[in-house]
Chains A and B, each alone.
Chain A
Amino acid sequence: GAVVSQHPSWVICKSGTSVKIECRSLDFQATTMFWYRQFPKQSLMLMATSNEGSKATYEQGVEKDKFLINHASLTLSTLTVTSAHPEDSSFYICSARDQEFDYEQYFGPGTRLTVT
């Protein structure tokens, strides 16, 4: 089956620093990738939709200047959390939509971010 990888799987950073999370589709091309955030014992909240070669579409309430998304190729999207604060600590999950079978969406293993 299709595989989506995320790197790093966990990261600890200090307040005020920036962290980049990579999301890769390993064996398929993804025109659209999604970034979600999940707090403990809660559901997934869509942060933004990323389309290759164009600007990401952010959900209401998500600061685009704080959560920078770049979808540089059909297999790679990155999320950069800038000037991180402890309240940004969360589980970040990306997903990728298969270009060929666009009803399928594959999820990465997630990145656990802890800001101290």
Chain B
Amino acid sequence: ELKVEQNPLFLSMQEGKNYTIYCNYSTTSDRLYWYRQDPGKSLESLFVLLSNGAVKQEGRLMASLDTKARLSTLHITAAVHDLSATYFCAVDHNNDMRFGAGTRLTVKP
């Protein structure tokens, strides 16, 4: 069974600081997704990573994928308050999509 582990589960950081969220998964997959969820809302797609070594950046967020290590990272650069949300990674294996537990990020001024 495909398992997706995300850490940390909770992250409180100061504005302007950098941090990385990690996503490990148990089965070979070449589709890795990162989503953002605000309270009471659905998911907003951030990144789709489709190949080993893929790196994508949007604003202060950068995601990477290492399929050999079965690891994806979401790096936050110079955090701002607007980034406060819950971030999920998800892995797709044979049309079976599994989500990590989520990382609840709080950025403090």
Residues of A in contact with B (beta carbons under 8 Å apart): 32, 34, 42-46, 49, 93, 95, 103-110
- Pair A110/B98 contact, Cβ less than 8 Å: no
Residues of B in contact with A (beta carbons under 8 Å apart): 31, 33, 35, 41-45, 48, 50, 88, 90, 92, 95-102
- Pair B48/A103 contact, Cβ less than 8 Å: yes
- Pair A46/B48 contact, Cβ less than 8 Å: no
Given the interface contacts A34-B97, A44-B99, does A106 sit within 8 Å of B45 by beta carbon?
yes
- In chain B, what residue has the closest Cβ to A101? B48
- Pair B43/A32 contact, Cβ less than 8 Å: no
- Pair B48/A110 contact, Cβ less than 8 Å: no
Given the interface contacts A43-B88, A43-B102, A44-B88, does A105 sit within 8 Å of B41 by beta carbon?
no
The complex places the Cα of A107 from the Cα of B43 at a distance, in Å, of 6
Which 4 A-B pairs have CB atoms at the shortest separation, nearest pair first?
A110-B42, A107-B43, A43-B99, A44-B99
Q: List the A side residues contacting B99 at CB < 8 Å.
A: 43-46
Q: List the A side residues contacting B92 at CB < 8 Å.
A: 103, 105
Given the interface contacts A107-B42, A107-B45, A110-B42, does A43 sit within 8 Å of B100 by beta carbon?
yes
Q: List the B side residues contacting A107 at CB < 8 Å.
A: 35, 42-45
Could you tell me the distance in whole angstroms from the C-beta of A73 to the nearest C-beta in chain B? 19
Q: List the B side residues contacting A110 at CB < 8 Å.
A: 41-42
Could you tell me the distance in whole angstroms from the C-beta of B30 to the nearest C-beta in chain A? 9
Q: List the A side residues contacting B101 at CB < 8 Å.
A: 42-43
The complex places the Cα of A95 from the Cα of B41 at a distance, in Å, of 14
- In chain A, what residue has the closest Cβ to B88? A43
- Which of these, B41, B42, B44, B97, contacts A46 with CB under 8 Å? B97
